[in-house]
């Protein structure tokens, strides 16, 4: 029986989502932040963002992004600065403390699930090649 792309995708998503619980818990412990704020820090850590861009990148609505930024700002982890070309917008960027907190979250080991580590070297090589092929369209879009 041949698997469909929908079936394979559902299995991949399930594997990733279900195997990250321990990492998420550890990242929350390492930073003292709720996970949604860690997500916001990760996006902002890639470069300053408007609240709209942050909300889009987190797939949340603007009020949810605003709440996260307000809480991060209260902790001194982000600041709002004037947008260089849009007087109505502000950019949100990390402070030094925010970078340190983000680094703490990113330093938490994100171990692969046991099912992945149990694969043979041949199967891992095959999977790596397939994942690389799946990532090619992403690379082309960001080039």
> Are 56 and 70 in a shared domain?
yes
Degrees, nearest 5: CA angle 50-16-124: 120
Statement to judge: residues 102 and 121 lie in one domain:
no
Predicted confidence (pLDDT) per residue in 62-94, tens digit: 999 999 999 999 999 999 999 999 988 899 999
- Terminal alpha carbon distance of the chain: 37
Measure the CA–CA gap between 55 and 29, rounded to whole angstroms: 24
Q: What CATH number does residue 71 fall under? A: 1.10.10.10
User: What pTM did the predictor assign?
Assistant: 0.78
pLDDT of 121 > 80? The answer is: yes
């Amino acid at each position: 029986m041949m698997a469909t792309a929908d079936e394979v995708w559902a299995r991949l998503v399930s594997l990733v989502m279900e195997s990250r619980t321990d990492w998420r818990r550890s990242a929350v412990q390492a930073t003292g932040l709720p996970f949604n704020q860690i997500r916001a820090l990760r996006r902002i850590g890639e470069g300053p963002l408007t609240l709209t861009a942050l909300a889009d990148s987190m797939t949340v609505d603007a009020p949810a992004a605003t709440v996260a930024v307000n809480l991060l700002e209260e902790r001194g982890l982000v600041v709002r600065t004037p947008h260089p070309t849009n007087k109505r917008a502000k950019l949100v960027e990390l402070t030094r403390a925010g970078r340190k907190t983000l680094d703490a979250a990113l330093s938490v080991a994100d171990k692969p699930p046991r099912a992945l580590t149990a694969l043979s070297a041949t199967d891992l090589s095959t999977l790596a090649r397939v994942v690389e092929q799946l990532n090619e369209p992403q690379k082309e879009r960001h080039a």
